[in-house]
Amino acid sequence: VSARLLDGRELATRLRRELRGRLEALVGAGEDSESEDWEPDTPALAILTDADVPAAVLYAASLERAARAVGVPVRMLDGRDEPAAAIRSLNVDPQVAGIVVAQPFADAVAGRRLVEAIDPAKDVDGATPTNAGRLARGEPAFVPATALAVIAILEAYGVEVAGRRAVIVGRSAVVGRPVASLLLARDATVVVCHRATRNLARETRRAEILVAAAGVPGLVRPEMVNRSAVVIDCGITATPEGIAGDVDFAGVAPVVRAITPVPGGIGPVTPMMVLRQVIEASESGHRS
């Protein structure tokens, strides 16, 4: 293996420490305040899940673990129980800085309606149409955490983005599209591939930064990359052998410049991005 390994676990550990420090500073600042009505509580993260959907429950649990490690209190809510009313009350609860509706919901339409009910100022996983619109327009926005994790890894490992050709495989609302917007905002030349792309390998071979977000294990094979590519694998598909990425790691790692493993790449960084946005939501005084 000649590629540099872009280690997400190591970065997550660093981020955890950094976020804990920011949180302490934030809460400490409140304690020093002269104001009569300062809010003593640490900003909390509310997570709503459909308890009937194991994947959503697992995601919620991993987010909760990460939050506790940073020091962010978590409120878990069961989406089967008056969820719309729950969102409305979380929206106006001053102790709740962030709200995440863990997807998927058994009833996808219901899940989407709940997301749309989140106050955009508390939308710490960038799931609302308001934040998606802001991001697409290049305006400040809360952004889906997986997309932010891609940027965090590129930055942490000093990968130049400006002027580079970035190719993204996948155009989902949670990964492909927001990654495209973030890379565009950082002056990359961006190509977005999807199911109807005619010759995927021809596109991916030209990538200096290749982001795989198709949810298809092993989709990116060694003949589809070039030697100077930095490969970021956002795939997380559960298989009988464990979690599988979109990249044939054993084949691709020896022939590229750098690559994220799965597991241990984007995965551990993602919850840290939610928590960073929880802290940002409370720092910017959006708590209403």
Determine which residue in the list 27, 216, 243, 255 makes contact with ligand ADP, applying CB under 6 A: 216
Nearest residue (CB) to ligand ADP, 102 versus 279:
102
Nearest residue (CB) to ligand ADP, 46 versus 169:
169
The conformational region for residue 46 under phi > 0 = left, psi -120 to 50 = alpha, else beta, is beta
Determine which residue in the list 15, 154, 193, 274 makes contact with ligand ADP, applying CB under 6 A: 193
Q: Are the CB atoms for 254 and 225 separated by under 8 Å? A: no
148 binds ligand ADP (CB under 6 A): no
Residue count at the site for ligand ADP (CB under 6 A)? 17
Nearest residue (CB) to ligand ADP, 119 versus 123:
123
Nearest residue (CB) to ligand ADP, 141 versus 175:
175
Q: Look up tokens 């920011």; give the residue.
A: 22
User: What is the distance between the terminal CA atoms of the chain, rounded to a whole angstrom?
Assistant: 51
Cβ count within 10 A of residue 86 = 20
Taking the complex as a whole, the smallest distance from the CB of residue 256 to ligand ADP amounts, in Å, to 19
Q: Provide DSSP, 55-86.
A: HHHHHHHHHHHHHHHHT--EEEEETTSSHHHH
**Binding region for ligand ADP (CB under 6 A) out of 64-72, 167-175, 203-211, 275-283:** 167-175
Q: Are the CB atoms for 258 and 157 separated by under 8 Å? A: yes
Binding residues for ligand ADP (CB under 6 A): 169-172, 174-176, 193-195, 197, 200, 213-216, 219
